Structure 1
């Protein structure tokens, strides 16, 4: 298949649109940090005082600090009971034993891990109890570290062949597949035609898309997590979404390592794509720099995140659920329609944005959709790390905080 079939005559563009804002290097990280801190404060445990070590209710249902809780309140945690012996006195003794080991089921095995409840009154544990969202912030710092590693590993894997050339070959292979394979009917309008439509007579909209691409992805996703931590009908539901997005990340990072792919905007000019976001040095800190993998177009994490968020909003609307979760109240028609509309519009808006700004191919969004579905179906795979989390918390002498999600619901029940 000749690559000449996917090239076009190059014409210097006539720009009327504006690129991404030229923010200082610290601007966007400070923005994200501000969103995280705001989420941490907003999701704090009301009524809990860090410096007051007198006996306080640890949760709104008066949960004890050494109560058997798992990482996501999804794993059962039993005390070491002598059920086989049938000795009631022994069972009662072990049940009331303080700081009994946690019993975990992992890969078909039963593991006993240290109980960190003895550290509940340590100062850093009490900070975590006051601000339980700190635990979510820690998870996403780990995720970013893996993203950073993916770039280093990919460069190492293709150090001899040259990662730039390999990434361009992969990009052109995607264009050829979209235009000439038996599945080409799925993409009747080519990516460059979408961008050219905005370039000719619609560059005001292109300005909006340029700045949306640069600023919505990371801040918007972080803000969504803070909102969902507060608004989810249960912590289990929040944790399912968090694990799904995390597994989607790790699946994508693996593809980044072994399948580097150049975004359309970085292809030579003869392929017809323009870098509308980054022209005039209007780069976002999330698109350039040593911490960014510029050759990670496949899959599109912009679309994967947007699709995840859209599905959560549709679920949150309650329209497609006959039975709500315990304590959840049916929303008014206005809010049902709002979440329904937003849940559909947001992924579509991001899809148009990544195509019109030449940052992704259609196939990138398609694979992003697939890894999100796989992430949801397989999200419980992260449960195998719960024993490791127990050991890490033990080493840190830290008791894991009780999530503040659904505190509002519990408070209304108690009243």
Structure 2
């Protein structure tokens, strides 16, 4: 459990100049954060959906991933997909989980950090943004069809079969989103960011347990709904590792190791 700390005057006597001030933990400004998150997500969605879909290459990459997983002995996605699809109430719940919690929980953790851990907020947000940014490189370099779109994969598109809304790449919404931006999985990247943040900073044991369960459940959901391969999740983990590395290099510490509170007085220090 992280111990709450307060920034002292020592932080104010850190590296001087514009760069030094930018790298200090500081109190986030609500209007700026709302604008930044809105613009960043709009930009991310625009770039992600502007990446050429390259259907042939995406399907070929899916076949290659499937062969690699068979060689590694982890190609159980089809069994999971079929088994959970047979439990109607469960798979419908997973469809809605896939569609909503990806955004709701991530925004909720950002709000929680803003309110209760303002000194750590900027570093945690930077880790999330860097994770998301590097994922765009993956979408461009490695277009990948999800399992439900594979040729002869015999996967069940659970959103289509059960007539729920749960994927921007199914039904009438498929023309609004790049269907072949599956590697890396940002459902895993974001959920693991949420889970690790909660685990590191939550003060009650049950919340820390939920923090660990959230990315694990998300992994089951993305496979059960045939939206991702296991290896897409590995890609998401690697992106998150990159994001935390960027935050560590910029702020000199991982987000949870920074002071929890930044007094107003520090903002005026040189």
TM range (shorter): 0.7 to 0.9
Matching of residue 374 in structure 1 with residue 242 in structure 2: yes
Deviation at 1:379, TM superposition (A): 2.3
Aligned-pair CA distance for 1:139: 2.2
Q: CA deviation at 1:381?
A: 6.1
Superposed, which structure 2 residues align to 1:10-409 within 5 Å? 76=14, 78=16, 103-105=17-19, 132-144=29-41, 145-152=43-50, 154-155=51-52, 163-180=54-71, 184-185=72-73, 187=74, 190-200=76-86, 202-232=87-117, 234-235=118-119, 237-268=120-151, 270-279=152-161, 282-284=164-166, 286-287=168-169, 288=173, 291-317=176-202, 331=203, 335=204, 337-379=205-247, 406=261
Q: Which of these two proteins has the greater Rg computed from alpha carbons?
A: 1
Q: In structure 1, how many angstroms separate the alpha carbons of the residues matched to 2:228 and 2:249? A: 29
Structure 2 gap ranges (5+): 1-6, 22-26, 252-259, 265-270
- C-alpha spacing 1:353/1:138, structure 2 compared with 1 (3 Å): same
Distance 1:257 1:224 in 2: 28
Tell me, in whole angstroms, the C-alpha distance in 2 between the residues paired with 1:190 and 1:176.
12
TM-score by length of 1: 0.52
Q: Is the 8 A contact 2:139 2:181 kept in 1?
A: yes
| Greater percentage in helix | 2
Could you state the TM-score of these two structures normalised by the residue count of structure 2?
0.77
Q: Distance in 2 between matches of 1:245 and 1:284?
A: 23
SS of the aligned residue for 1:104 comes to: helix
CA spacing shift, 1:74–1:261, aligned 2, 3 Å = farther
Change (3 A) 1:134 1:191: same
Alpha carbons of structure 1 residues 267 and 259: separation in structure 2 relative to 1, 3 Å? same
Q: Distance in 2 between matches of 1:272 and 1:75?
A: 62
Which structure has the higher relative contact order (CA within 8 Å, separation 6+)? Answer: 2
5+ long unaligned stretches in structure 1 = 1-60, 62-72, 79-102, 112-128, 318-330, 384-404, 411-415
Pairwise CA distance, 1:149 = 1.7
Count how many residue pairs are aligned between Structure 1 and Structure 2: 238
What's the C-alpha RMSD, in Å, of the aligned pairs? 3.0
Distance 1:75 1:203 in 2: 60
User: Which residue of structure 1 lines up, in the alignment, with residue 4 of structure 2?
Assistant: none
